[in-house]
A = this chain, B = another copy of it.
Amino acid sequence: MSVNPLRPRASGRVTLADVARVAGVSPITVSRALRGERAVAPELVAKVKEAAARLGYVPDPAARALASRSGTHVAVLIPLLSNALFVDLIDAAQGVLRAAGFQMLIGVTNYREGEEEQLLREQLPHRPAGLIVTGLQQNRATRALIEASGVPCVHAMDIAPDKGVHSVGFSQQEAGAAMTRHLLGRGRRRIAFAAAQLDPRTISRQEGWRLEMERAGLYAPSLEWLNASPSSLALGAAMFEQIVSVRPAVDAIFFNNDDLAQGALLAALRMGIEVPRQIAIAGFNDLTGSDQMVPPLTTVRTPRREIGESAARMLLTLMRGGLPERACVDVGFELVVRASS
């Protein structure tokens, strides 16, 4: 049992002090050299880095968080893990954040009222270095919490051009309008809007649809089919069956999410209804499988990975005390026209 002189502490863990001893400098100099903070003589930096590497030094995040009052992790709040949309978002953000040395803590609200606020109250004591939240519709208390914490925060998925917040996303309303214009351009007149979940982004898309329908003089409340249940293929199938039976004159349905539209296409198949000859179907998000449907689904491709990356990068800038080029990044969207319309 010989004691390795390079690892003097019996506790096992190599600390800053160990590195300092080996490098022949003070602990604070090691701290500064390793973080690249303030000016440290280049030769000392080299000596410190070599010593740290030799000892296999890994900084203790808990000690760092306690001393600096800011952790090395970012908290990300999303509504759902069961929607590929948000999974893509966090997966992309994760990549950027991790490369920069930040951990990511995921909070899921399940679209529950007050859950975002509750999660924040649990998260904030952990001193996250940054925050990414979904959408712009935080309640009063949540906004106050964020503000008071002083933790940099980026809003993902939607954009707020004027407000004093940082956001990355695209105009949900404009996307809803674009799909509606496409269907109108194909000669469809009685275009139903069918949605589930009814989150703020859904409502924005509905607004886009409604404005275009009104402009075309075709809007009617009976074309709106809203269901607050979670989105799913089964629900889409059920909504499709209901719409075609109650309103046989409807000649197109714009579903608010691809899973609904996929379910509708499968229901049409079962019912022997020809798409798009008898009725056009459109979706939203371009989820997995939409290109494989029979017929392939017309939809709006939403660049959620790009949103995740861009939001993470913006947050990185804010966490480093910098100012992002723009406080609001519009990544746009893409109409994907396939055979279902």
Contact = CB atoms under 8 A, between A and B. Distances in A.
A141 to B, nearest CB: 14
Contact of A81 (B91, B108, B125): B91
Interface in A249-263: 259, 262-263
A126 B61 contact: yes
Interface string A86-102: 01101100100010000
Nearest to A83: B87
B232 A288 contact: yes
Contacts of A84: 82
Contact of A66 (B60, B81, B266): B60
A218 interface: no
Contacts of A126: 61-62, 103
A215 to B, nearest CB: 35
Nearest to A12: B148
Interface string A279-298: 00000000011011110000
A81 B71 contact: no
B91 A87 contact: no
Considering residues A88, A90, A233, which has the most beta carbons from chain B within 10 angstroms of its beta carbon? A233
B289 A233 contact: yes
Interface string A220-260: 00000000000011100100000000000000000000010
Interface of A: 58-63, 65-66, 71, 73, 81-82, 84, 87-88, 90-91, 94, 98, 103-106, 108, 122, 125-127, 232-234, 237, 259, 262-263, 266-267, 269-270, 288-289, 291-294
Contacts of A267: 292
Contact of A294 (B60, B103, B232, B269): B269
A132 to B, nearest CB: 14
A111 to B, nearest CB: 14
Contacts of A62: 62-63, 65-66, 71, 126-127
A108 B122 CA distance: 24
A298 to B, nearest CB: 16
Contact of A63 (B66, B88, B266): B66
17 contacts: A62-B63, A62-B65, A62-B66, A66-B66, A81-B87, A82-B84, A104-B105, A105-B105, A106-B106, A234-B292, A259-B289, A262-B289, A262-B292, A263-B289, A266-B292, A269-B294, A270-B294
